[in-house]
Amino acid sequence: MAALLSPLSPSGPAAAATPAEKGGGSRGRARNRPFLLIVPALLVLLAVFAYPVAQTFVSAFTTPSPGTGNFAWFFGSPANVAVLTRTFSTALWATVICLCLAYPYAYLMTVASPRARATLLLIVMLPFWTSLMVRTFAWLVLLQDTGLVNGFLGLLGLGPVSLVRTQTGVLIGMVQILMPFMVLPLYSVMSGIDRRLLTAAQSLGARPLVALLRVFVPLSLPGVAAGATMVFITSLGFYVTPALLGSPSEALISQFMYTQVSGMLMWGRGGAMAVVLFAATLLLIGLLGLAMRAGRRGKAGAR
């Protein structure tokens, strides 16, 4: 711990680079030196992230008066709990749809030629490099009742479907925006899977599809877990897209927080919602982790 704290001394991170430090120092200090590299990032995170979050959490219990009043308010209103449930179910749907679309896409990337792979990667990354706001407004234009999507549906003889101000619209926007977070971890795991294992499975009597399901899919699960966690957690805190594409009557928790804090100046209530969202997320991820570990152990112990 002392070694970790020492870089926080007045000379700061700059000390790491001085020649005087390079020459001397015990072995223990030399081994800890790489830690110095993360100090700037750590300081930034502490100042602009950890401190405000802590402040928010504290305010949940102290503003306007000390106690659990804010939580009593939150759980006392069925509407609030409904918002929380809706937030989780929207995030879950976004994750499932993302996975269904991204899995074959990432698989295609692993089998494509280097050139085709670069193109596929570019297609995923291009929207990612565009502003979130721009993309959401683009969806607004596309999805509105007189927009391109409904125009196309009209050509097919399907009546205008209201997409803007609905959960469907929110999901379409979220899935598109979150897609890279699913494709990239999936691709990174899939590209590391030895495809010769599939050949081996076929030589042992497995049809190509069975080889894929019994060998490739299980080996790709770490990528599924990483991508799903990323998309799910990001979905929980989504603000811009639901605010612009969704209906105010079907708001998600981030919009609710915004109303409480910005509209009504109820900092404590906003903080309480943040605490509840944070706790629920941790709980869910913890359960998921336990389930995965149990699944792995169960498989190992099956025979």
Partner 1 sequence: MPVDPPEGAALPAGKGARIDLSGMTKRYGGAVAVDDVTLTVEPGEFMTFLGPSGSGKTTTLNMIAGFTDITSGTLRIDDRPVGAVPAHKRDIGVVFQHYALFPHMTVAQNVAFPLRQRRVPRAERDRLVAAALETVQLPGHASRYPRELSGGQQQRVALARAIVFSPRVLLMDEPLGALDRKLREFLQLEIKRIHREVGSTFVFVTHDQEEALVLSDRIAVFNNARIEQVGTARDLYERPATLFVARFLGESTVLRGTATPDGSRSRLDLDGFAVRASGGVRSGPAALVVRPERLRLEADESDAGGGGNAIPVTVVEEIYLGAARKLEVLLPGGARGLVREQAGTSSDLRVGDRARLCWHPDDCVLLPDDPTTERILT
Give me the residues that bind partner 1 (CB under 8 A), please: 194, 196-197, 199-208, 210-211, 214-215, 218-219, 299-300, 303
Task: Please identify which residue in the block is written with the tokens 């502490």.
Answer: 46
Which residues have a Cβ under 8 Å from the Cβ of 186 and sit 6 or more positions away? Answer: 102, 103, 106, 220, 223, 224, 227
3-state secondary structure of 193: coil
Torsion of CA 273, 278, 284, 290, to 10 degrees: -150
Are 185 and 233 a contacting pair, CB within 8 Å? no
Selection from 49, 38, 35, 45 nearest residue 3 by Cα:
35
Scan for tokens 């060998």, then name that residue: 215
Q: What is the C-alpha separation between 99 and 35, in angstroms, rounded?
A: 36
Using the minimum distance from each CB to partner 1, give the nearer residue, 29 or 297.
297
User: Nearest Cα to 178, choosing from 238, 246, 254, 247?
Assistant: 238
93 Cβ contact partners less than 8 Å away, ≥ 6 residues apart: 171
User: What's phi and psi for 28, nearest 5 deg?
Assistant: -60, -40
Rounded Cα distance between 86 and 89, Å, is 5
Q: What does DSSP assign to residue 4?
A: H
Indicate the angle between helix axes 78-111 and 167-190, nearest 10 degrees: 40
Q: CA-based Rg of the chain, rounded to a whole angstrom? A: 25
